[in-house]
Structure 1
């Protein structure tokens, strides 16, 4: 997804062996009981996490998020979707140190987008981001995204390239050494209809939900994709950060990465909902009408994309007016 090669676990393991990475060594930081933390009382970022059978990843996740450089101006909202693994005890230990960790348990199984909507309702931050328990962020991840939204007032959503991981024991620095990075395209109507560029750990303005609505809970895997398409349809703008400061774990049991994922089916459903509305009217014109609009003869090969036809015309105009 977003890479020039088909990355497999075998390729990943071969690279790890080549680099001789010892990811099982003890890299624990300051024990929780010895940490000192003071929140500013300001809420710039609200990070939302859906929790279900996440005990395996939870402690590393909590350490990763609480290490964010602006966590003293942020909050972590964990929505427990009736997980049977008793994660609340560990979360309570962290809440004693970090009072800006908000925990809500729902007494019945809910989907990820129901959980995200609950998180949106509780959020106090100007900016929102989703945080998956099995993914990781560089310590300046929140800060980079929030700074971009502060600086670029035209942007409603910021997203970025990300680092791929096939081993949850790797930390951010280990994964970065592996060098497997996405190359997601910038968001345009045409690109978003082909690829969900903001799918991994974007950050967006909280006010979007008042303007565009919440996540569609009829989706189980592609509700975020449907939301980004809906945002684009409503004139919202996206900004890409090229620095990969997020680790995407290719979890074989994840909602969107498991073999049983409904992601492909639901993505097609979202495309059926928005494809025609977001497709440029020029792309639905006849060949002759399109040629007349840009001032060329309709003689190009049928295999040539219209994008190339327009680019050739622009190159010609550049030469003409030099």
Structure 2
């Protein structure tokens, strides 16, 4: 693994012919009670889902938002949909990238907010998500803010609500990245997303932040929603191996790392088998009572 890039390494993107900026939407307020919040959405051939994502950002109860969309050169109607709503979008960049990390990093360079959130083009925020995050930032200051994530089997059937806990980050991804908002100063200190990682770049960043002593703040509320079936869900074994590599690179115990990897793989295999034969009840019981990250029934939603 190489070291992650810095913000300065992305200066050239402002000269891209596919860069659209609407200055009137960027209110870099100096009022501590009304900070500018940047939100980044990356997309690629997301015509079926991106409208819901865009709407969830533009309809936030908190209004001082710089909204940035980075599209990797979609060949479907994604770009057309984005441009139909460009009056509500601060920056649009449409060009090929080197992967998810590169797209994230382009958005981070263009972000002017005190706080930065990243929501992918098939996820969506609760309408008051940013308001809750800003209130915590006003109370606690700079840090990494994260909350509950509602998973959905499809658009009509809720799955589980995943909580988050940063104290278990050394063991695995125990924070819901779609719910995180990070003070920009932290990216300036520890670098951006690692370009060598294809699936677990969010875990790598959060682990580096934890090891660097950055402060984490948990918001006990559903912040974001996610449909099952993302890159990490569908390639879970490769994701586990990438997480294993990240922990090794950051100097964690190799013996403990092997034990965590083995345990994670076995538990996932057992879960898949049980769910495939219709035994959801024991899976649900384990998730509620023994999972590293607390999970609750969607009926207990807060």
Shared fold per TM-score greater than 0.5: yes
Checking the alignment, whether the CA contact within 8 Å between 1:199 and 1:225 is kept in structure 2 is no
Task: Indicate if the aligned counterparts of 1:135 and 1:246 stay in contact, CA closer than 8 A.
Answer: yes
Q: Name the counterpart of 1:270.
A: 246
1:157 corresponds to: 144
| Gap change, CA 1:183 and 1:199, over 3 Å in 2 | closer
Instruction: Check the 8 A contact 1:200/1:248 in 2, yes or no.
Output: no
| Equivalent of 2:173 in 193, 196, 199 | 196
Query: In the TM superposition, what are the counterparts of 1:1-322 in structure 2 within 5 Å?
Result: 39=25, 41-42=27-28, 44-70=36-62, 72-96=63-87, 98=88, 100-106=89-95, 108-153=96-141, 156-167=143-154, 169-170=155-156, 178=158, 180-184=160-164, 186-188=165-167, 191-201=168-178, 202-251=180-229, 254-259=230-235, 262-276=238-252
The 2-side partners of 1:151 and 1:267 are apart by 33
Q: Is the 8 A contact 1:226 1:270 kept in 2?
A: yes
C-alpha displacement at 1:270, in angstroms? 0.8
Q: How many residues align?
A: 226
RMSD: 2.5
SS in 2 for 1:246: strand
Give the SS at the match of 2:175. Answer: helix
Aligned counterpart, 1:320 = none
Q: Which has the larger radius of gyration?
A: 1
Unaligned 5+ runs, structure 2:
1-23, 29-34, 256-302
Over 3 Å counting, the alpha-carbon distance change for 1:136 and 1:270 in structure 2 is: same
Q: Gaps (5+ residues) in structure 1?
A: 1-37, 280-322
Q: Distance in 2 between matches of 1:65 and 1:261?
A: 32
* Pair 221,259 (structure 1): closer, same or farther in 2 beyond 3 Å: closer
Output the CA distance in 1 between the equivalents of 2:149 and 2:75.
31
Counterparts of 2:119 and 2:163 in 1: how far apart (Å)? 21
| CA pair 130-237 structure 1, distance change in 2 beyond 3 A | same
> TM-score, normalised on structure 2?
0.69
Q: TM-score, normalised by structure 1?
A: 0.65
Is the CA contact (8 Å cut-off) linking 2:25 and 2:66 kept in structure 1?
Answer: no
